[in-house]
Amino acid sequence: MALRDFFYQLSESELLNGAAQKYGLKLGARSVVAGTTIPEVIESIKKLNSQGISCTVDSLGEFVFEEEEAIRAKEEILAVIEAIHNEGVDAHISLKPSQLGLDIDIDFCYDNLREIVERASQYGIFVNFDMENYARLQPSFDMLQELAKSFDNVGTVIQAYFFRAKEDIEKFKDFRLRIVKGAYKEPADVAYQDKLEIDINFLELIEYHLLHGKFTSIATHDHNIIAHVKRFVKEHEIPNEKFEFQMLYGFRTDMQAELARDFNFCTYVPFGKDWYGYFMRRLAERPQNINLVTKQMFNKKTNTLLAVAAGAFVLGRLTKKK
């Protein structure tokens, strides 16, 4: 728990985020972030497509508090949509409303989102609203519902650690949904804290949407959850076209390829210079992810990054106290 909290705290540091952008992916995150430019991410998508794997693309961005930053983020996402269309790759968009101005002004954010969804709709490209922390949850759902009045290429994420998740999945059962356990540190008055409780709720949400929903993306690296879903879809004769498994870029690559041979499979492909917060949350959310990263990518440079991050974080805390 202490290690997880440590990485959560690191993920929220603007100071370290700035430092990470300065040094780029060469300090360790390259194995789990598919480059910093659109041409780089398109090449990564092509390699995954060649294995029968679809992709959802996230142009990373956090700590957006100025309209100019949000507009730049919107323009890059629009450029990704154009690249997906022009290159003919099998991919769609994942985005975070906060990156597009949710923390600045909700009407401004909505206008940015609508422009993206409208452009994607022209090319038949799906847009998924990634859910963030609890404070941003309801505003994000509200904008999604408003956009759904005009467009049918939008969906969202249900986070299993929230108490309200079952109510939300019933409300949004006619949407394409990605179901996840949850990647932010949330207080005990709104979210389960115990892993077993989260896992139970996660499975119940998956089963509900498989039986009653439009299309289900099951986002997990947990082989026990995956085995359970395989049994469930077989027992209930749920066709493959109703669901997909989904994992993060760079994690359990052998299992990704194996699942893609028998089921629809989608890899969550993040890219961009603003990779730091994403990377730290992946280390924080599950001890298994830390082990996977250790096996696949940790080297002297990465250990140096974490040592520098720890030192900078402590220094930042001490400076604030002064």
The per-residue pLDDT for range 81-130, each reduced to its tens digit, is 999 999 999 999 999 999 999 999 999 999 999 999 999 999 999 999 99
- Burial annotation 233-270 (CB, 10 A radius, 16+ → b, else e): beeeebeeeebbbbbbbbbbbeebeebbeebbbbbbbb
- The residue behind tokens 């679809």 is 54
Among 214, 307, 288, 207, which residue's Cα sits nearest to residue 248? 288
Read off the pLDDT band of 32 (50, 70, 90).
Answer: confident
| 3-state SS, residue 96 | coil
Q: Tell me the mean pLDDT in the region 62-75.
A: 93
- Which range is least confidently modeled, 47-51, 61-65, 88-92, 186-190? 61-65
Q: So where are the chain's domains?
A: 34-274
User: 83: which 2 tokens?
Assistant: 């690249």
Examine the residue annotation and report whether 178 is marked as an active-site residue of this protein.
yes
The per-residue pLDDT for range 202-254, each reduced to its tens digit, is 999 999 999 999 999 999 999 999 999 999 999 999 999 999 999 999 889 99
Among 285, 287, 286, 245, which residue's Cα sits nearest to residue 267? 245
Q: Measured between alpha carbons, how far is 122 from 159 in angstroms, rounded to an integer?
A: 29
Q: Tell me the mean pLDDT in the region 288-316.
A: 48
Relative orientation angle of helices 223-235 and 253-262, to the nearest 10 degrees: 10
CATH number of 34-274: 3.20.20.220
Task: Out of 178, 252, 281, 282, pick the active-site residue.
Answer: 178
pLDDT confidence of residue 263: 98
pLDDT confidence of residue 308: 46
Examine the residue annotation and report whether 261 is marked as an active-site residue of this protein.
no
Task: Out of 130, 168, 199, 274, pick the active-site residue.
Answer: 130
pTM summary value: 0.83
Q: Report whether pLDDT(316) > 90.
A: no
